[in-house]
């Protein structure tokens, strides 16, 4: 008996690493030391920082992976993985430097997992960070055939004097919304229940989606906001806070970027809820309050700026092919999000 008979193919693992090496190298940026194959990835802190602070984050994709498995499409969830980590790190004012992934499966399928890693590399290029390394674990008997799970880890850097912690936010500051690309990677347990209980199939094409199937719509990857936000810094626009709108929606995530004795008043008339969320609410008979507590509802990221920086912020973001809008205003309070009902 050998390891292969027990379910782990070492040679297949080596072949997989060889297969993904080129796409990983395409993500490298200045600062990467060495290459694949070591016990750890090395990255040199960029020059020019006086008090560099490293900001790290980790996340997964959640049950959106179940949809990828069902449709046997694996080229987008890697983008989601990078987005969920890089967007979080970005909220501290940090520029993502490098990313690592952990990929676990019951039996290594080189073609399938190469698609996943290609998606991760695409996400890293969008975020401007290097895919520095990772781990692929073959765990027979732990996962169902054809299934895998992924987790990601991102590290960014920011000058200590520019680190955002909520203390910079002032009453009267303005919250500007950056639109989401769809459901992103949160709420998929509810999405799958609505689709399943409603008797829908992932290949169905509801009229609301203009000919696109449910599978296409719900596999749309999470938008990565790094480059648009960094363009604000390059334009010398002072950002006072940022929020990544993930699980818990606006009510849970907006207060996380505010300081003490602050709340935010939302202008609910500022944007139209995208069709995908209107369809979910109708198909699942979901109350509006539950929709806002679960999904991003069309707002993927929020930047808070001073009133005199609003026009320049909107103009700069529009040059990044985004359609931003004024979401609301910071007011006195205790972390409430007002005006959603």
pTM of the model: 0.94
Please, which pLDDT band fits residue 3 given cuts at 50, 70 and 90? low
- Answer yes or no: is pLDDT of 224 > 90: yes
For residue 133, give Cα distances in angstroms to 103, 180, 190, 277: 11, 28, 33, 36
193 compared with 259, residue with greater pLDDT: 193
19-33, 111-125, 141-155, 243-257: the lowest-pLDDT one: 19-33
SS3 call for 160:
helix
H helix runs in the chain, sequence order:
10-25, 64-71, 77-90, 110-127, 188-197, 214-218, 226-234, 249-253, 275-284, 288-294, 310-318
pLDDT per residue as tens digits for the range 226-237: 999 999 999 999
Question: How far apart (Å, rounded) are the C-alpha atoms in residues 3 and 110?
Answer: 18
Give me the count of residues in the chain.
Answer: 341
- Answer yes or no: is pLDDT of 10 > 70: no
Tell me what the pLDDT averaged over the chain comes to. Answer: 93
* CATH fold for the domain made of 174-338: Phosphoribosyl-aminoimidazole Synthetase; Chain A, domain 2 (3.90.650)
Q: Which two tokens stand for residue 63?
A: 């049950």
pLDDT per residue as tens digits for the range 64-110: 999 999 999 999 999 999 999 999 999 999 999 999 999 999 998 98
Nearest-5° angle of CA 126, CA 56, CA 226?
A: 25
Q: What is the dihedral of CA 275, 279, 282, 286, to 10 degrees?
A: -90
pLDDT per residue as tens digits for the range 130-178: 999 999 999 998 998 889 999 999 999 999 999 999 999 999 999 999 9
* CATH fold for the domain made of 10-162: 60s Ribosomal Protein L30; Chain: A; (3.30.1330)
SS3 call for 198:
coil
Answer whether 316's CB lies under 8 Å from 244's CB: no
SS3 call for 18:
helix
Answer whether 61's CB lies under 8 Å from 81's CB: yes
Pairing mode of beta strands 95-105, 239-244: unpaired
**Residues carrying CATH 3.30.1330.10, the chain:** 10-162
pLDDT per residue as tens digits for the range 280-309: 999 999 999 999 999 999 999 999 999 999
- Answer yes or no: is pLDDT of 20 > 80: no
**Residues carrying CATH 3.90.650.10, the chain:** 174-338
């Amino acid at each position: 008996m050998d390891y292969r008979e027990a379910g782990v193919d070492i040679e297949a693992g080596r072949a997989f690493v060889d297969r993904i090496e080129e796409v990983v190298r395409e993500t490298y940026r200045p600062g990467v030391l060495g290459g694949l194959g070591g016990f750890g990835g090395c990255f040199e802190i960029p020059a020019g920082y006086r008090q560099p602070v490293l900001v790290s984050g980790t996340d997964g994709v959640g049950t959106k992976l179940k949809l990828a498995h069902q449709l046997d499409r694996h080229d987008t969830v890697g983008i989601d993985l990078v987005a969920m980590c890089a967007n979080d790190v970005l909220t501290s004012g940090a520029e993502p430097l490098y990313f690592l992934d952990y990929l676990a499966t019951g039996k290594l399928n080189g073609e399938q997992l190469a698609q996943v890693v290609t998606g991760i590399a695409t996400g890293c290029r969008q975020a401007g960070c290097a895919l520095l390394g990772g781990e692929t674990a073959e765990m027979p008997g732990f996962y169902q055939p054809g299934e895998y799970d992924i987790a990601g880890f991102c590290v960014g850097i920011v000058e200590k004097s520019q680190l955002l912690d909520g203390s910079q936010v002032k009453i009267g500051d303005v919250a500007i919304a950056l639109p989401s690309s769809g459901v992103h990677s949160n709420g998929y347990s509810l999405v799958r229940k609505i689709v399943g209980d409603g008797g829908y199939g992932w290949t169905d094409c509801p009229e609301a989606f203009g000919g696109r199937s449910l599978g296409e719509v719900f596999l749309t990857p999470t938008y990565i906001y790094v480059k648009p936000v960094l363009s604000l810094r390059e334009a010398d626009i002072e950002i006072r806070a940022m929020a990544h709108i993930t699980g818990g929606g606006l009510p849970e995530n907006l207060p996380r970027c505010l300081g003490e004795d602050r709340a935010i008043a939302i202008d609910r008339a500022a944007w139209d809820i995208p069709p995908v969320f209107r369809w979910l609410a109708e198909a699942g008979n979901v109350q509006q309050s539950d929709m806002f507590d679960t999904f991003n509802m069309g707002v993927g990221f929020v930047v808070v700026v001073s009133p005199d920086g609003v026009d320049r912020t909107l103009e700069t973001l529009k040059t990044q092919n985004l359609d931003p809008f004024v979401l609301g205003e910071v007011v006195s309070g205790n972390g409430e999000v007002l005006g959603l009902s």
